[in-house]
Amino acid sequence: MINKKSIWFLTLFSLILVLSVYYITMPPELLLNTNANYNYNENTPTTNITESTVLVALRVEKEEELLKEIENLQLILNSDKSTIEEKNNAFDKMKELNIIKGEEEKLENKINDVYQLKAFIKIKNDQIEVVVQKNENDSDLANKIMRTIQEQYETPKYITVKFTS
């Protein structure tokens, strides 16, 4: 039997995920407080887009996968036919997904802080996929990024770095 705290946690966690997907998919002009960043021509307004559509598409795809997995886990948690062990495993998996998401965000912020580059990071087991927004491939920068990420872990990770414009 699931207690009230677990239900509230799952409800709030689901709400946070839905809101984060909504926030990521919102048009950038809704996020601006003023019109200072717009150059209006008489016919067409133009905006400065700071993040590539590739990174946004990767983030949306990752969020959709995460939401599907969480929905499946919630079905297990809410099912009367699930055993206590299955419910515990599902709950542990949800916690693990939340931790991985936090690690991905932490690493993205680290790359942004250290190298002033926008990045997308996806962690799966011991593999870390990094997509960096930069026009040309730079092997020295890729090696530095890999070292920066590996410094965050005690065990060796398989890290790949890709560049996109």
Given this model, what pLDDT does residue 45 score?
56
Beta strands 127-133 and 158-164 are parallel
CB 143 within 8 A of CB 160: no
What tens digit of pLDDT does each residue of 24-71 get?
777 766 655 544 444 545 555 554 545 568 888 888 899 999 999 989
Mean pLDDT, range 104-112, rounded to an integer: 92
In order of their start, the domains of the chain are: 4-164 (1.10.287.4300)
- Where residue 125 falls (left for φ over 0; alpha for ψ -120 to 50; beta otherwise) is left
Instruction: Average the pLDDT over each of 1-15, 76-90, 128-142 and give the range with the smallest value.
Output: 1-15
Given this model, what pLDDT does residue 20 score?
79
Instruction: Average the pLDDT over each of 30-39, 93-102, 105-114 and give the range with the smallest value.
Output: 30-39
CA distance 122 to 101: 9
CB atoms within 10 A of CB 89: 14
Given this model, what pLDDT does residue 34 score?
47
User: What letter would DSSP give residue 48?
Assistant: -
Task: Give residue for tokens 């996109």.
Answer: 164
